[in-house]
Amino acid sequence: MDVTEEEFDVEVDAEDLPDAPQAPAALGTPSVIVDNLHVTYRVVGTRGKPKTVRRGNKLQRGVRRVLRGTGAATEVKAVRGVSFVARHGESIGIIGTNGSGKSTLLQALAGLIPPSEGSVYISGTPSLLGVSAVLMKKLSGARNIMIGGLALGLTKQQVEERFDEIVEFADIGDFVHLPMTTYSAGMAARLRFAISTAAVPDVLMIDEALATGDAGFRERSRVRVEEIRQGAGTVFVVSHSLASIQAMCERVIWIDKGVVRMDGPADEVAAEYRTYVRALRAERARIRAARKRNVA
């Protein structure tokens, strides 16, 4: 399906948003501008994926076979021409099936991956950038809180003042004094979230972190996101849970195979996405059933 460019509504009006009491007084000026963003991974030596390309003559196919496994580079076009404008005070959910490019998009927004084409403009500092780049597994949670806090621009004293609150938010108890190698994935994700929101960031990006928490953590996260939004920050949330997204975001961008398939009010996009996923599942079930019949 094509990118629905016409439906591309960057002029989201706060008054048109569903949950009026939740919406900030007014959406601010643009905080993030993504202009025709492309991200291409170059994968070197894809030995494990012998997906034979059937085109070309015998010689060409032979050359390809030789190149494979000898470190020849393959390209994965993970993001292919994404454009949107996000504003201060906006929280935006990003949804899409696995491999659609959500994480890549966030990493490009955070400046962790360079665009292969197009550009990203951000006013202020993206939060996940500092923290995810510096968290060190061999060090204790406590050391990471200090390092992460400093990376976010807090002073040593400010980090010390917020220390207990961060530990409480992450709900890691005495583990804070142990190396992060001893943490479960959920504990690490919660600590990362707690650190990255310790300083009210201009732009916060959350990638699947919410899936790892219990109901209490999810609620604390929701409140924190709301605070950031009210403080004119911009929040991006990637989650498999449409319910979490709808609870936190007034706007949702649906990414499919690296392109924006829909961008609009959370409820509308979520509804379309649900229909799409249901159809996709039914189609897969139909194919499986057909295969079984052929085997039998």
Q: Rule CB under 5 A: which residues touch Mg ion?
A: 103
Task: Kindly indicate which of the ranges 54-62, 64-72, 82-90, 92-100 contains the residues binding ligand ADP, using the contact rule CB under 6 A.
Answer: 92-100
The reply on whether position 101 binds ligand ADP by CB under 6 A is yes
The reply on whether position 96 binds ligand ADP by CB under 6 A is yes
Choose among Mg ion, ligand ADP, none what residue 163 binds, the Cβ cut-off being 5 to 8 Å by kind. Answer: none
Choose among Mg ion, ligand ADP, none what residue 99 binds, the Cβ cut-off being 5 to 8 Å by kind. Answer: ligand ADP
Choose among Mg ion, ligand ADP, none what residue 104 binds, the Cβ cut-off being 5 to 8 Å by kind. Answer: ligand ADP
Q: Report, in Å, the least distance between residue 92 CB and ligand ADP.
A: 15
- Cβ closest to ligand ADP, residue 102 vs residue 251: 102
Burial code (b: 16+ CB inside 10 Å, e: under 16) for 234-261 equals bbbbbbebbebbbbbbbbbbbbbebbbb
- Identify the residue whose tokens are 């938010």: 169
Choose among ligand ADP, Mg ion, none what residue 98 binds, the Cβ cut-off being 5 to 8 Å by kind. Answer: ligand ADP
- Cβ closest to Mg ion, residue 22 vs residue 103: 103
The reply on whether position 31 binds ligand ADP by CB under 6 A is no
Pick the closest to residue 210 from 175, 254, 255, 241 (CA basis).
241
Question: Which residue of the chain is nearest Mg ion when measured via CB?
Answer: 103
Choose among Mg ion, ligand ADP, none what residue 57 binds, the Cβ cut-off being 5 to 8 Å by kind. Answer: none
Q: Report, in Å, the least distance between residue 41 CB and ligand ADP.
A: 3
Q: Report, in Å, the least distance between residue 165 CB and ligand ADP.
A: 30
**HSE, side-chain direction, 13 A CA sphere, residue 26:** 2
